């Protein structure tokens, strides 16, 4: 059997002769594997789709054959599952996980107008539990009887503000300290704080691609991305760190490709559809990542 598509970000790992991976977690639409010490990737259904860590299988029934702890090996040409199934890597369609950020510089006025529209879309559609809703009266009402959730949102908002101030001041140690506190904040395999940081890095990459009359930031994107990943390395789950590393490298899911394309299209319907696609990722992960993305364009703190 052949894979339907394979992310260009994770392809070098899967095509490495002598690959040895272990099934780490099993879900309805995805099976997550780890190559020790901490390289994560996933076999996913077409419904889950293309993502930076994903190898998409043609038959979702294949995912039901895998169990936590199962071994998957590879010789560079095929993957061998514990059940005996083999997945061919030869001739598989390789999906480019890296959108063209530089294309956004073709029409920065349209992109900035789309960003304003994006803020409105996120405000309308974000779930109350998301960090994107942290400052909204809707969220405060929703968690009037859940002080722990309200406190976590307030904490994340304060940490994000501190991180942005450190970035504007060129204070890399300060930025890293705030990122370390954000990493791992919240429950789940990809905590909300990590999703926010991943979105912020994607937004920062977009921001640096756009021409600006303002003074160039003192910190380079590469230095910031490295500092954030290092800060998160021992604070969060392995899978969440893998997604953060991918975002730092510029690799994002298909939904984010659609969103970045919509920023340049000036099409409100396309933007709304892309926001909905991103927000379908997890209960709040997509919205949390959008909150971080928009924070990259926030020049002042409330």
Read off the pLDDT of residues 59-106 as tens digits, 9 standing for 90 and up. Answer: 888 899 999 999 999 999 999 998 788 999 988 999 999 999 999 999
Least confident of 181-190, 203-212, 234-243: 181-190
Phi, psi of 19 (to 5 degrees): -60, 135
Angle between helix 147-169 and 172-182 (nearest 10) = 160
128 vs 258, residue with greater confidence: 258
The confidence band for 127, taking pLDDT boundaries of 50, 70 and 90, is confident
- Report the pLDDT value the prediction gives residue 1, as an integer from 0 to 100: 75
Least confident of 83-87, 130-134, 236-240: 130-134
**3-state DSSP assignment of residue 26:** strand
Q: How far is CA 151 from CA 56, 148, 157, in A?
A: 38, 5, 10
CB 133 within 8 Å of CB 153 = yes
Say if residue 302's pLDDT is above 50: no
pTM of the predicted model, to two decimals? 0.92
Residue 64 pairs in a beta bridge with none
pLDDT, average across residues 158-179: 96
210 vs 247, residue with greater confidence: 247
Read off the pLDDT of residues 105-126 as tens digits, 9 standing for 90 and up. Answer: 999 999 999 999 999 888 877 7
Say if residue 241's pLDDT is above 50: yes
Say if residue 245's pLDDT is above 80: yes
Q: Which secondary-structure segment (H or E) carries 217? A: none
pLDDT, average across residues 267-284: 91
Q: For 75, what's the count of Cα atoms within 13 Å in the CB-facing half-sphere?
A: 7
Task: Kindly list the structural domains of the chain, giving each domain's residue range(s) and its CATH number in brackets, ordered by start.
Answer: 3-95 (2.40.50), 101-295 (no CATH)
pLDDT, average across residues 187-200: 90
Q: How far is CA 133 from CA 118, 176, 243, 291, in A?
A: 14, 24, 22, 8
Contacts for 258-263 with beta carbons within 8 Å, 24 or more apart? 259/118, 260/99, 260/101, 260/104, 260/206, 261/99, 262/114, 263/104, 263/110, 263/111, 263/114, 263/115, 263/118, 263/206
Say if residue 133's pLDDT is above 80: no
**Any residues with CB less than 8 A from the CB of 56 and at least 6 apart, and which?**
3, 4, 5, 6, 44, 45, 46, 48, 49, 50, 95
As a whole number of angstroms, the distance between CA 132 and CA 289 comes to 8
Q: Burial of 25 by CB count in 10 Å (0-12 exposed, 13-18 middle, 19+ buried)? A: middle
245 vs 186, residue with greater confidence: 245
- Report the pLDDT value the prediction gives residue 143, as an integer from 0 to 100: 47
24 vs 60, residue with greater confidence: 24
For 135, the token pair is 């400052």
- Report the pLDDT value the prediction gives residue 20, as an integer from 0 to 100: 96
For 5, the token pair is 């598509």
**Number of CB atoms found within 10 A of residue 270's CB:** 17
- Report the pLDDT value the prediction gives residue 134, as an integer from 0 to 100: 60
Say if residue 27's pLDDT is above 80: yes
DSSP string covering 228-246:
HHHHHTTTS-HHHHHHHHH
């Amino acid at each position: 059997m052949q894979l339907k598509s394979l992310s260009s970000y994770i392809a070098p790992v899967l095509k490495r002769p002598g690959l040895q991976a272990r099934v780490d977690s099993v879900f309805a639409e995805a099976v997550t594997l780890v190559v020790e010490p901490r390289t994560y990737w996933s076999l996913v259904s077409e419904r889950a789709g293309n993502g930076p860590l994903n190898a998409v299988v043609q038959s979702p029934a294949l995912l039901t054959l895998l169990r936590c702890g199962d071994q998957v090996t590879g010789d560079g040409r095929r993957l061998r599952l514990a059940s005996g199934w083999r997945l061919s890597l030869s001739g598989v369609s390789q999906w480019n996980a890296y959108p063209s950020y530089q294309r956004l510089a073709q029409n920065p006025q349209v992109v900035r107008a789309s960003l304003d529209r994006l803020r409105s879309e996120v405000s309308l559609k974000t779930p109350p539990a998301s960090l994107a809703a942290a400052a909204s009266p809707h969220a405060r009402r929703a968690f009037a009887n859940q002080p722990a959730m309200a406190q976590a949102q307030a904490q994340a908002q304060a940490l994000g503000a501190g991180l942005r101030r450190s970035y504007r001041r060129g204070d890399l140690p300060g930025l890293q300290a705030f990122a370390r506190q954000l990493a791992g904040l919240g429950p789940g395999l990809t905590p909300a704080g990590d999703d926010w940081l991943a979105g912020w890095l994607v937004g920062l990459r977009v921001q640096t691609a756009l021409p600006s009359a303002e003074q160039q930031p003192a910190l380079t994107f590469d230095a910031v991305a490295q500092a954030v990943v290092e800060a998160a390395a021992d604070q969060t789950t392995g899978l969440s760190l893998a997604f953060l590393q991918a975002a730092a490298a510029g690799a994002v899911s298909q939904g984010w490709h659609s969103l970045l394309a919509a920023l340049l299209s000036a099409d409100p319907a396309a933007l709304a559809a892309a926001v909905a696609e991103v927000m379908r990722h997890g209960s709040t992960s997509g919205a949390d990542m959008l909150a971080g993305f928009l924070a990259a364009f926030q020049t002042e703190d409330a």
